[in-house]
């Protein structure tokens, strides 16, 4: 069995960004990945602006004669072009408005007294005070969003702030997903003896859609080798990745592994981790005439275990970074926190464990009491996964590696 680090390295070394790109409106680009740098065509702000409601002045007028009573020569709302400031006068100005030529400081209105068309300054500002200089945020010609950036709401706002109406992004990663197991039943259908509801279909589709994938769901495939092979062949034709759940163990009814070996190849299929030991990675041959889904004649394949926590954890730790690399992202590793364990786990496992835990009010970690791979409740109760090394028992007060779900679901 491969270690988790070896398995992740195997997957990520095989992934490269898909080649298709498109130009889409910036308003519709949330969560897409840039295929080209976004370069600013202008300074932001494009002129000197006031950071406060107040009065624009020339500081030399104050230092020359000490006079603090100035006539107000103009009023400058945001969005209006000012006239040059006349020496010996002040301009009423509002937040975000253009500083008039000649003015070199702003006195906030709380530090003034006004009467008629005059203002008394109660403060002597330094040059540049409360002025946001032209280009203070962004300089014309600078790269504000590099290729490989996944577009967050604030990134869209940044692109819009320099006038970008459209953005060049990579096309969505096309993922085919199907589930094996004659025991699987969809919610809403009668639950026969020995059957279970197919929770994995809902979890995995939700995770793929959260990553922005274009998902084709082939549903539940019968536990038969021919049916599994036929679904693999069909799914390979127009997708970048085939994701399956169940059937990758070593039982007589586990047909995914032999089906993939017959239709393509497997590079690995077991990992020394808990939960999630049976995880398969390889590729399925694609018909020659359909080889335009990616720059290869193969479609990647990842087979997840059937237990719900195992499939959830292996998706977050392996499928997520693999898909993000296909999508064109450059940084895919989640941030890891060092937090205090407020529990004791005396029994160490020979595999790398990923324990469901949550942050308590004291800033430490509590452990979900049942760490079985079948207990999906733990994934809703928890805030993330403790990455516990092999053969390591955890003592109360010890610092452990914690990967928040907020990172893994991003």
Domain range list for the chain: 4-20+172-326, 21-42+150-170, 49-132, 337-408
Reported pTM: 0.87
Bridge partners of 241, per DSSP, are 175, 300
Give the per-residue pLDDT at 229.
Answer: 95
Strand order across the beta sheet in which 54-57 lies: 105-108, 54-57, 90-93, 69-76, 118-121, 112-115
What pLDDT, on a 0 to 100 scale, did the predictor assign at position 14?
A: 94
Q: Which residue has the tokens 């003592």?
A: 395
Q: What is the CA radius of gyration of the chain?
A: 30
pLDDT at 268: 82
CA distances in angstroms from 263 to 233, 258, 287, 295, 393, listed in the order given: 7, 9, 11, 19, 42
Angle between helices 225-236 and 256-263 (to 10 degrees): 50
Low-confidence ranges of the chain (pLDDT < 50): 290-294
Report the alpha-carbon distance of residue 184 to residue 196 in Å, rounded. Answer: 5
Tokens representing residue 116 in the block: 């008629």
User: Which CATH number is 21-42+150-170 given?
Assistant: 3.90.105.10
Q: What is the CATH number of domain 4-20+172-326?
A: 3.40.980.10
Kindly state the DSSP code that residue 372 receives in the 8-state scheme: -
What's residue 296's pLDDT?
A: 67
> Which strands form 241-245's sheet, in the order they lie side by side?
214-221, 174-180, 241-245, 298-304, 280-285, 264-268
185 backbone dihedrals φ, ψ, rounded to 5°: -135, 140
pLDDT of residue 293: 47
CATH topology of domain 49-132: Molybdopterin biosynthesis moeA protein; domain 3 (2.170.190)
d(CA 107, CA 90): 10
Q: Positive or negative, the Cα torsion across 305, 281, 331, 337? A: positive
Q: Do domains 21-42+150-170 and 49-132 have the same CATH topology?
A: no
Cα separation of 149 and 164, whole Å? Answer: 15
Domain 337-408 has CATH 2.40.340.10: yes
Task: Outline where 162-307 has alpha helix (H).
Answer: 199-210, 225-236, 256-263
Q: What is the pLDDT of residue 163?
A: 96
């Amino acid at each position: 069995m491969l270690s988790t680090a070896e398995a992740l390295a195997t997957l990520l070394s095989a992934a490269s960004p898909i080649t298709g790109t498109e130009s889409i409106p910036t308003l519709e680009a949330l969560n897409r990945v840039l295929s080209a740098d976004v370069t600013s065509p202008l300074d932001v702000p494009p002129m000197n602006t006031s950071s406060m409601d107040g009065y624009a002045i020339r500081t030399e007028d104050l230092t020359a004669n000490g006079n603090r009573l100035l006539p107000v020569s103009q009023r400058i709302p945001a969005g209006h072009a000012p006239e040059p400031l006349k020496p010996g006068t002040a301009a009423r100005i509002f937040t975000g408005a253009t500083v008039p030529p000649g003015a070199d400081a702003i006195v906030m209105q709380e530090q003034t007294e006004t009467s008629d068309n005059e203002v008394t300054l109660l403060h002597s500002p330094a040059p540049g005070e409360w002025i946001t200089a032209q280009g203070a945020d962004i300089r014309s010609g600078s790269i504000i969003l590099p290729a490989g950036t996944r577009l967050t709401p604030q990134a869209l706002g940044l692109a819009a702030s320099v006038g970008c109406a459209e953005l060049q992004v990579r096309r969505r990663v096309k993922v085919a997903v199907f589930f094996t197991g004659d025991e699987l039943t969809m919610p809403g259908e009668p639950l026969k003896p020995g059957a279970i509801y197919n929770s994995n279909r809902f979890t995995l589709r939700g995770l793929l859609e959260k990553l922005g994938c274009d998902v084709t769901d082939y549903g539940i495939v019968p536990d038969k080798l021919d049916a599994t092979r036929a679904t693999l062949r069909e799914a390979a034709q127009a997708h970048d990745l085939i994701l399956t759940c169940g059937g990758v163990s070593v039982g007589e009814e586990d047909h995914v592994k032999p089906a993939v070996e017959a239709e393509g190849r497997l590079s690995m299929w077991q990992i020394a981790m808990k939960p999630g030991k049976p995880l398969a990675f390889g590729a399925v041959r694609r018909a020659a005439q359909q080889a335009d889904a990616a720059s290869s004649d193969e479609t990647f394949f990842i087979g997840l275990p059937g237990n719900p926590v195992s499939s959830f954890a292996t998706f977050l730790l392996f499928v997520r970074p693999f898909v993000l690399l296909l999508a064109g992202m450059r940084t895919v590793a989640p941030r890891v926190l060092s937090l205090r364990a407020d529990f004791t786990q005396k029994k160490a496992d020979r595999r790398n464990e990923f324990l469901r835990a949550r942050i308590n009010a004291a800033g430490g970690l509590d452990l979900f009491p049942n760490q079985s791979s079948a207990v999906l409740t733990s994934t809703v109760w928890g805030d993330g996964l403790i990455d516990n090394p092999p053969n390591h028992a955890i003592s109360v007060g010890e610092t452990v590696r914690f990967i928040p779900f907020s990172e893994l679901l991003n």
